Amino acid sequence: MTQTGVYKAKIGVVHTSLNSIGGAEIVCIETVRALKEAGAQVDLITIDRTDWAKIKRIFDLDIDPCREFIVPPFVLFPTFYSKFVSWIFQDALSISYLRKNYDLIINTQPFLPTTFADMAYIQVPEFSEIIETYYPKYQNGLWRAYALPHDMLIKVSEKLFDYLNRKPLILTNSKYSEQVIENRMKLKPYVIYPPVHVNRYKSLSKRKKSERNLILTISRIEKDKRLELIPKVAMQVQDAKFVIIGTLKSGYSNTYLVHLYNIIRNFGVQDRVKIIPNANEEIKKDLLSGGKIYFQPRQCEPFGIAIVEAMAAGLIPLVHKSGGPWMDILDQKQGLYGYAYEDVISCVEFMHELLDNYTQRREFIDRIVKRSERFSSEIFRENLVLIAEALLSANMDIKSS
């Protein structure tokens, strides 16, 4: 192993919980992996002890678990305001206390922009305009009154950031997130695209797709993912089967799953819309190898690791014309790397067109697969180590001055 500037450095990686099993967790795992491969001594600091067996089963990763510290030693009941309590324990207290034990602390899931880590990777900016996009109910009535303190606390956090003597380096996952953060906080973060295991799926693009019209969505099964749009679209695209696979978080996700099943029955599409919660990697690959379209229902998605995975497997992405999927993954070019819809009508029209002409799109699919390589996990790890080296060098200069 070639020694780098992080060799034998003691690094703490802070993440709320890996048990959510989503894109943020892949970022954390690949951060730990990159630093360990570079020779660093890495500890994981979390508020929820990691279920490593579940991580291995869902992600199909050969993980060498690092030493793990749990702070605080209890799990908070999930509410809209839990993040603020967790911030006190995880950022304000734990990171401040643990700083003396590490050469570098990296927060891969900061609750708020104000973190006492050396580096923070912001994946979903927790600003009111973003929250209201995912949860429109908070814009009206009593829900608006419930959300007002949240907005005030976020603004207080932003002010606290301005007064930090030692500001963290802010990284983010897309040009879209970069714009949101820059407009709100008047600072320019550094964009590092999330790690995608494209080489794992590229071979699937060469397989002959089945005759069935399969439209796939991979997502955490949560309300903010807008999955209820899928049965609404399926009702109008009757020559296709829709499959949703994804992970369930504890607590409220199960309630939303029941709600989603009810919507599917109400639209009368239960024979063509299937949900597979907590599907393992084998099931995921089987569906990717047979799928034709990858459908992203969420608006203003910051990035979308599953979109790139599907592109690597040869599925045509159909995403909402907003956020990172449109700006970063499709490069705001309609029809070059995929398609972007604006409403249900255009979404349905694109699906019919793509399914009707799928067999004529081999060259187009090859271009999509090539595009996916831009977001590989190897590129992420290389960039992450380079930035960690620069921060370690800067920290050493500060200590010696």
Q: In CATH, what number is assigned to the domain containing residue 233?
A: 3.40.50.2000
- 23 and 68 both lie in a single domain: yes
Q: What is the pLDDT of residue 75?
A: 54
Q: What is the pLDDT of residue 161?
A: 85
Q: Pick 63 or 258 by higher pLDDT.
A: 258
Is there a domain that residue 165 lies in?
yes
Q: What is the pLDDT of residue 1?
A: 43
Total domain count for the chain?
2
Sequence-distant (6+) residues with CB within 8 A of 80 are: 146, 147, 150
Instruction: Give pLDDT tens digits for 330-340.
Output: 999 999 999 99
Which of left, alpha, beta for 21 (phi over 0: left; psi -120 to 50: alpha)?
left
**pLDDT tops 80 at residue 136:** no
When computed from its CA atoms, the radius of gyration of the chain, rounded to whole angstroms, is 21
- 308 and 214 both lie in a single domain: yes
- 179 and 273 both lie in a single domain: no
- 212 and 273 both lie in a single domain: yes
Q: How far is Cα of residue 70 from the mean position of the Cα atoms in its chain?
A: 23
**pLDDT tops 70 at residue 239:** yes
- Domain residues for the domain of 170 are 10-195+376-400
Do 272 and 234 touch, CB atoms closer than 8 A? yes
Return the exposure string of 1-13: e unless at least 16 CB atoms fall within 10 Å of the residue's CB, then b. Answer: eeebbbeebebbb
Query: Containing H/E element for 290?
Result: helix 281-290
Q: What is the pLDDT of residue 335?
A: 95
Q: What is the pLDDT of residue 78?
A: 65
Torsion sign across C-alpha atoms 59, 60, 63, 67: positive
Lowest mean pLDDT among 65-69, 121-125, 135-139, 352-356: 135-139
- 385 and 277 both lie in a single domain: no
**pLDDT tops 70 at residue 397:** no
- 125 and 101 both lie in a single domain: yes
Mean pLDDT estimate for the chain: 88
**pLDDT tops 90 at residue 34:** yes
- 252 and 267 both lie in a single domain: yes
Instruction: Give pLDDT tens digits for 178-192.
Output: 998 898 888 899 999
